[in-house]
Chain A
């Protein structure tokens, strides 16, 4: 009699499903309710990256996903393990990043009974996931896992959470693998309505001052080539959002850089004066529009987005295109003819010459100078993961991104602590790429425990800490708008970051003055393994240009103001 084939446990089946999805890495932190799944990973070819805090795992998975375009996977335990992923889920949701977060859960018989490390994880996370599952039957595991990856990666990508009770992961699971998903309520847009495409083409041709406004959707759909073809066909200048960096080459003569609150003055001048603005996978965020009632009031608006809910959410476009950016631009390129934009291009170039990005190179070390040199030394080819704050805006201004998936930052959520773990995740996904985290001293301290993760695995990501001993962006607002009444911004008690890195066995370098910059950056680049560079920059420096929150773009402050400013009306 043949011996019966061993039936896998739910956990083993789950790990087999991950293998079938092509998962290389799981970023996780173990705990009681997840032990069966960690146990199943022992026999898998999937590499488990043990983090030091669950938030770090989510940002690593997110960085991995954004650097590669493939979903990042997180595995944590129940209760606090799961709740520590909430910030990472929000970050991924706001920036449309495909991650799958698997959380252990108490036994199904204990659900709702306040068992040890029990939390209503699906309940807590409803507002911060694209979709989620509580698996109550081991036979559902193959279907749920296939659906989770399908939902996370298609359409407008986003985080999916799968909560797996311990008895479900421990029980036998004889259900077959699932290839096809059946989700009648889930539609993935592809090509747009041809009539709308034709109308968009007509408006683009008629425009004399067209502007392409490129967002993260263009990066996600891989529409960079099509964006550039359209710009060259129309002879239209390009601006990009913070997350749209790299979709089109920022060093191209038609590219005016980033628009919005801390965008280049010439990009924002173009926004004020254009007669048509074409959003390609961007969502008219308040950092971009400023006072929305006065945003591009005289310009025709075309909005291309894969998420129908983005249309009419902030602005009412003249033409709405629902679909995948690359596919829709392909169709548009087949019909659109160039218009006459020569006067407009001359004007944009004049603004570029008149209002260049600049910073003083004397009077102490400045973050802008360090980032300018980083961009120069890496020839714009490094993957840069920026944290949140002044350093992020300076990096966005001075680190010109030429190709997609070389610029990763928390845009929508503005999650401090994102940059360093995201760099680790990005380096796992793109081992051949040079990866630099650019972080402030505030954000770095929120997830700096992941120095251990980088050290243990020898992850050759570099971390540039722009240290001004302040929560600098808030200090800037307090200086400009709150009579310099500083409150809750002084990071006294910062550790010596060089010694801190060395305590983990990580090579670390310090930049004290401009003359150190190139030497120390080069030294860090030469390290075989992780490296930290600490730039001790001047304490009080401000990011300009700046559009006060809630103000119209025309109120842009290009140079440091000489008088006190009104408090901004925008919420943040």
Chain B
């Protein structure tokens, strides 16, 4: 069973989450990325997926860090792109956020019990049980994933893949 999610997970300082609906066409990702890079804004994670509206549109969820004045300009410049249908900053919105991580560890007999205990506490699932390795899948807020990974780090992370954050506004509000 997954650990319960806090309603408003504490956000890392200076990290913003932006949601876009864009045309599903070649080059759109570059146009979006250039708006950030020109202003020295670093994209921390970026998730592109099909939009509910149909095959012609995609959804992008971007987390990035930088000062708020520049962020306002970035949102406006994103909205200016012809291929961007809408761009919203959800940094202060009431949204459900989640992220998935896959973690691979070298896990001998000695460490295995401890690792599995941590996994159980975070509602992580064992997705590959090898002779000398474990693969775990965990999901939840980015902060929860940070904590989980922090606890496992002393055991020696072999590989780590995070999906990047996705988010959806609660109620009937449009993300």
Contact = CB atoms under 8 A, between A and B. Distances in A.
Interface stretch (B11-19, B74-82, B121-129): B74-82
A184 B85 contact: yes
A363 interface: no
B76 A185 contact: no
Interface in B82-122: 82-86
B8 interface: no
A185 B83 contact: yes
A185 B81 contact: yes
A127 interface: yes
Interface stretch (A308-316, A376-384, A396-404, A536-544): A308-316
Contacts of B38: 127
B26 interface: yes
A393 to B, nearest CB: 29
B27 interface: yes
A311 B80 CA distance: 13
B34 A309 contact: no
A514 to B, nearest CB: 48
Nearest to A311: B76
Contacts of B85: 184-185
Contact of B27 (A127, A134, A185): A134
Contacts of B73: 309, 312-313
A151 B83 CA distance: 12
A134 B26 CA distance: 9
A310 B86 CA distance: 18
Contacts of B23: 185
Interface string A47-76: 000000000000000000000000000000
A510 interface: no
B76 A308 contact: yes
Contacts of A183: 82
A307 interface: yes
B71 to A, nearest CB: 11
Interface in A166-196: 183-186
In this complex, which of A132, A184, A308, A312 has the most chain B Cβ atoms within 10 angstroms of its Cβ?
Answer: A184
B135 to A, nearest CB: 36
A133 to B, nearest CB: 9
B153 interface: no
A367 B84 CA distance: 48
Nearest to A156: B80
A89 B86 CA distance: 26
A515 B24 CA distance: 66
A126 interface: yes
A185 B30 contact: no
Interface residues of A, number: 19
A122 interface: yes
Contacts of A126: 27, 30-31, 34
Given A134-B26, A151-B82, A185-B84, A127 B76 contact: no
A184 B81 CA distance: 11
A131 interface: yes
A186 B82 CA distance: 5
Interface string B37-73: 0100000000000000000000000000000010011
Contacts of A307: 80
A396 B34 CA distance: 35
Nearest to B28: A185
A308 B34 contact: no
Nearest to A307: B80
B30 A131 contact: no
Contacts of A130: 82
Interface string A117-151: 00000110011001110100000000000000001
B72 A312 contact: yes
B110 to A, nearest CB: 51
Contacts of A185: 22-23, 81-86
Contacts of A313: 73, 76
Given A185-B81, A185-B82, A186-B82, A122 B27 contact: yes
Nearest to A314: B73
Contacts of A134: 26-27
Contact of B76 (A122, A132, A309): A309
Contact of A309 (B31, B77, B83, B86): B77
Nearest to A309: B76
A311 B72 CA distance: 10
A313 B79 CA distance: 14
Contacts of A186: 82
Contacts of B79: 308-309
In this complex, which of A123, A183, A309, A313 has the most chain B Cβ atoms within 10 angstroms of its Cβ?
Answer: A309
Contacts of B84: 185
A334 to B, nearest CB: 29
Contacts of B30: 123, 126
Contacts of B34: 126-127
Contacts of B83: 131, 185
A122 B22 CA distance: 18
B80 A309 contact: yes
A185 B30 CA distance: 17
Nearest to B22: A185
A550 B18 CA distance: 33
Interface of A: 122-123, 126-127, 130-132, 134, 151, 183-186, 307-309, 311-313
Nearest 3 pairs of A and B residues by beta carbon:
A309-B76, A185-B85, A131-B82
Interface of B: 22-23, 26-27, 30-31, 34, 38, 69, 72-73, 76-77, 79-86
9 contacts: A126-B30, A130-B82, A131-B83, A151-B82, A185-B81, A185-B84, A309-B76, A309-B80, A312-B69
